[in-house]
Structure 1
């Protein structure tokens, strides 16, 4: 497991090591459209270089960005400082990370593609970490993205679907759940027409 962790950490450190922001500095479109549903504190899974955490902090929310890459999180803190806001960051592996129970008003997962074995462990902990009435917001590439070259992993297990969401988030009330196609233009990492799953779920009060 340690070798796998080190390899994954190195992969993302390398990806984020350039001067440019690999996925840009603008927030994810789906998050930007629905951010008013979110209350703090907000937990951002696989935050990367900070674009989404900084966007939410600029709107007055307390945000904790968790990511495997120390390089990415340093850039996230740099971006926050440049934008005149503060974010909290934690370098952690989502395979072992355990968020505190009933701590967050919202949790976001933006293109945080995880293997099903990891999701089975993490997602119940995420639900537990939400306060009653808290919101979970996710956008991920769908299975229809597999043959495309516009972003996302080339592993069907890590891609999402409406059926997977329903099975893996059974206790959340779905406010929005759909598979759709849209233009995703986020730096050099996500570039063009893509097949995505979008989900907003609410924990019962």
Structure 2
């Protein structure tokens, strides 16, 4: 399904990073090791590399990864791209300073909880998770994301999922976004920034 989605010359979600990442610039320390989860066509991993971070990115679509590699080359940055199933990914303990997960909303509650635990595990003590996505209200807008409410995030749900971390930002808001043809128009968004104890 994902290979078919990305099988176009155009970048489905554009080539610019999500505004959420730009807004978190203070957390993007040059030299830090970051994992970009389900990174798609590379717009966010390339931006992270441009900020001087050491970036590893994974995705389940070989088509998306090919486009990501081309985007990284066009921007003159290096990213370690890996093909992998998010449910079988090796969440190496304490490997990263940051984990970035942007619009990874294709998982039901049980699978999502498993992935979130993996994201926490692969963080170093004191490391950060930067998570950005849609709220269930997005279904009313229909401007991007899956048509499945349980794949979305709520403030209460994220507060519970990351209760074992220090939550630095948890904010729900509506904003118009223009990220390729995939995300276009008024959107029901939510941000989480959380720090692992230690």
Matched, 1:57 2:49: yes
Return the match for 2:21 from 31, 36, 41: 31
Stretches of structure 1 that go unaligned for 5 or more consecutive residues are: 1-10
Secondary structure of 2:39's match?
coil
The Cα of 1:27 is off from its aligned counterpart by 0.4
From 113, 120, 126, the counterpart of 1:120: 113
Please name the residue that 1:137 is paired with.
130
Q: Which runs of 4+ in 1 moved over 6 A?
A: none
Query: Per-residue displacement from partner, 1:45-93 (whole Å, max 9, x unpaired)?
Result: 1100000000010111111111110110111011001110110111111
Aligned ranges 1:3-18 → 2 under 5 Å: 11-18=1-8
What's the Cα RMSD here? 1.0
Contact 1:35 1:56 in 2 (8 A): no
- Does the 8 Å CA contact 1:38/1:135 hold for their aligned counterparts? no
- C-alpha displacement at 1:200, in angstroms? 0.5
Q: Deviations over 1:164-183 (max 9, x none)?
A: 10121121111110110011
| Structure-2 residue corresponding to 1:5 | none
Taking the aligned partners of 2:142 and 2:164, their CA distance within structure 1 comes to 34
Task: Indicate whether 1:103 and 2:92 are aligned.
Answer: no
Q: Is the 8 A contact 1:47 1:65 kept in 2?
A: yes
Looking at structure 1, the residues matched to 161 and 114 of structure 2 have their Cα atoms a distance apart, in angstroms, of 10
Match of 1:180 among 173, 177, 186: 173
Question: What TM-score comes out, normalization by structure 2 length?
Answer: 0.95
Output the CA distance in 2 between the equivalents of 1:169 and 1:154.
25
Partner in structure 2 of residue 151 of structure 1: 144
Q: Give the conservation status (yes or no) of the 8 Å contact 2:28–2:48.
A: no
In the TM superposition, 1:61-72 aligns within 5 A as: 61-72=53-64
Q: TM-score, normalised by structure 1?
A: 0.92
Which residue in 1 is equivalent to 2:162?
Answer: 169
Q: Which runs of 5+ in 2 are unaligned?
A: none
Q: How many pairs were matched up? A: 195
C-alpha contact (below 8 Å) 2:60/2:84 kept by paired residues: yes
SS of the equivalent of 1:152 reads coil
